[in-house]
Amino acid sequence: MKNSAAKAFAAHPDRLFILTADGKIAYRGARGPRGFKVDEMAERLEKLLDGKKS
Amino acid sequence: MKTALFLLLFVAPLLAQDPQRGRRGGDLWERIQGMDADGDGKVSRDEFTGPERFWDRLDQDGDGFVTEKETKGMRRGGRGGQGCQGGRDRRGGGGAALAQRMDTDKDGQVSKDEWEAFFEKADVNGDGLVDRKEFESATSGRAYKDDAPAEGAAIPAVTVKRLSGRGSVDLSKPERTTVLVFGSYT
């Protein structure tokens, strides 16, 4: 296992991202564990999905 | 008692003053002051045109600026207890600057609390480990540089194998809005 994805996203050891179908990064969380914030990501996801609906 | 002795033996060599440097130190600020382009009385990292390796020794408090007071501190050797004086470490290069940055109460010694506080500050992501990038950032005074692709940027072209083992997924071409979770699970 080369861990290429974690390297490409500088994600080690924990991190959250939201990717959109247009090939962009919509949310980049800070590096975890300190920056690993599920609530923050969820809030951003809701806004993103609400924006798509309207 | 043992802890104090350990700190003296460990820190004293790092902070030992170079007598040659002391004699020339009187005009050190004169040489550096000329780099103060905006005339605010201190030299920022951007204004500093000297060799990169000297910056850590000059910016003793790690605030990103060199002041006349800091150059005088280098000349006199700073405050401190027995064997602990400010100055350049011939052998350790930036070791003296590192010790002085850790010595937040400027008593010439690095206490256990100061050591642990430095670690906490250096550990940017709070994982209990200081990796090389975090260490370089903490010791140089430069802001920690996050290499992750920024919001709004294109998704990196990375292909990962499916857990089923059948086929792979190109993360840069998600079919729908996708949450990517990196981490370890027990």
**Domain boundaries defined on chain B:** 2-140
| CA–CA dist B107, B85 (Å, integer) | 9
pLDDT in tens, B75-89: 544 443 333 344 444
DSSP H or E stretch at residue A53 = helix A38-53
Q: Is the pLDDT of residue B8 over 70?
A: no
ipTM: 0.93
The domain locations on chain A are 4-53
Look at A19 and B149 and tell me if their CB atoms are within 8 Å: no
A49 CB near a chain B CB, below 8 Å? Answer: yes
Q: Which residues of B touch A8 (CB under 8 A)?
A: 149, 156-158
One-letter amino acid of B127: D
Q: Is the pLDDT of residue B57 over 60?
A: yes
| Range with the largest mean pLDDT of A3-12, B34-43, B78-87, B149-158 | B149-158
> Of the candidates A16, A15, A23, A19, which has an alpha carbon nearest to the alpha carbon of residue A48?
A19
Write down the H helix ranges in B81-131. 95-102, 112-122
Optimal mutation site among B159, B175, B177, B182, interface A, most CBs of chain A within 10 A? B182
| CA–CA dist B167, A5 (Å, integer) | 16
Neighbouring residues of B84: CB distance < 8 A, sequence distance ≥ 6:
B8, B11, B12, B15, B108, B109
Q: Is the pLDDT of residue B9 over 70?
A: no
Average pLDDT rounded to a whole number, residues B10-31: 53
Q: Grade residue B10 by pLDDT with cuts at 50, 70 and 90.
A: very low
Min Cα–Cα distance to chain A from B165, Å: 13
Taking the whole predicted model, whether its pTM rises above 0.80 is answered as no
DSSP H or E stretch at residue B180 = strand B178-182
